[in-house]
Structure 1
Amino acid sequence: MRIFASENTDAVLQRANIQRGYTLVIWRGRHVTEPYELSEQEASSYWLDVLKVAHALAQHYRPLKMNYETLGNSLPHLHTHLVPRYAANDPTPGRPFPLLPQDGSEPTIPEERLTTEAKDLRGLLGFS
């Protein structure tokens, strides 16, 4: 569910119930696979958007730590996974989150909760 958009990015709160607040920030400018392919201005804009979304997630969910994963191994287009980490129920404390490729069979967040969380995050991000 989209929670933020700028000139070149979309931020999408994930429906898959993998980790509370798990969000993707996706570059939707020209096609690039690596951040270094961006111009200085594009890179600045991209990373500032990533940080803006991460800050809103931190305000809303209050995690202990935010993990930033810019991978592109299975989908070769620039995007960053924002994965909040919590003290309770962390599957791998002190280690990277075990983020696996999604195949659509994952349990989903109840629609009402997803909608409410997305609305709250949009408010924090000034996005309607």
Structure 2
Amino acid sequence: MRPQWGLWSARYGCADGYWQKNKYIKVYSILVLAEHKIELFELDRETRHQFINDISDVSRILNDTLSPIKINVEMQGNVVPHLHCHVKPRFETDTPGHARIFQGAGTAILPAAEFSAMRDELRERMSGNSKARC
């Protein structure tokens, strides 16, 4: 596993999922492509479709589990040149409110019991969501 990505959550079709323990962005998730590629267009059609499906599946699971008002999905890579996607559930109570989350918003660690309970529920929901590997 890649500890720099956060706490590993699950293996999807062609990506590994990780969670960040940041209470400002509750269950901030990152999906990291298993093979090393930098750009989405570098993937063959099947892998590209699977990666997008993985992102969609994680977004749906987070939505169904947490009932956010919005799921933000971001692919950047200017800091870490490896294809990955940030999946961020957004809530009316987010800090700094319903506005854009700025990079300098800060980090605060969720209490262990709260994080563990969310992790267990999400892992249970995600375990039945495995797909054929790319």
TM-score > 0.5 by shorter chain? yes
TM range (shorter): 0.7 to 0.9
> Partner of 1:48: helix, strand, or coil?
helix
For structure 2, the 5+ residue unaligned runs are: 1-6, 129-134
List aligned pairs for 1:1-128, cutoff 5 A.
1-29=7-35, 31-91=36-96, 93=98, 95-99=99-103, 106-126=107-127
Residues 99 and 23 (structure 1), Cα distance of their counterparts in 2 relative to 1, 3 Å cut: farther
Aligned 8 A contact 2:25 2:94 in 1: no
Q: Could you give the per-residue CA deviations for residues 27-82 of structure 1, whole angstroms, max 9, x where no partner exists?
A: 112x1111111110110111111111111111111100100000101101011001
Amino acid aligned to 2:40: P
| Aligned mates of 1:101, 1:33 — CA distance in 2 | 27
Q: Identity of aligned pairs, percent? A: 22
Partner of 2:131: none
SS at the partner of 1:81? strand
Q: CA RMSD in A?
A: 2.2
Q: Structure 1 residue 99: deviation in Å?
A: 3.8
Question: TM-score w.r.t. structure 1 length?
Answer: 0.84
TM superposition outliers: structure 1 runs of 4+ over 3 Å: 99-102
- Alignment deviations for residues 6-33 of structure 1 (CA, whole Å, 9 cap, x no partner): 352111111233311211011112x111
Q: How many residues align?
A: 123
**How far apart are 1:119 and its partner, in Å?**
1.0
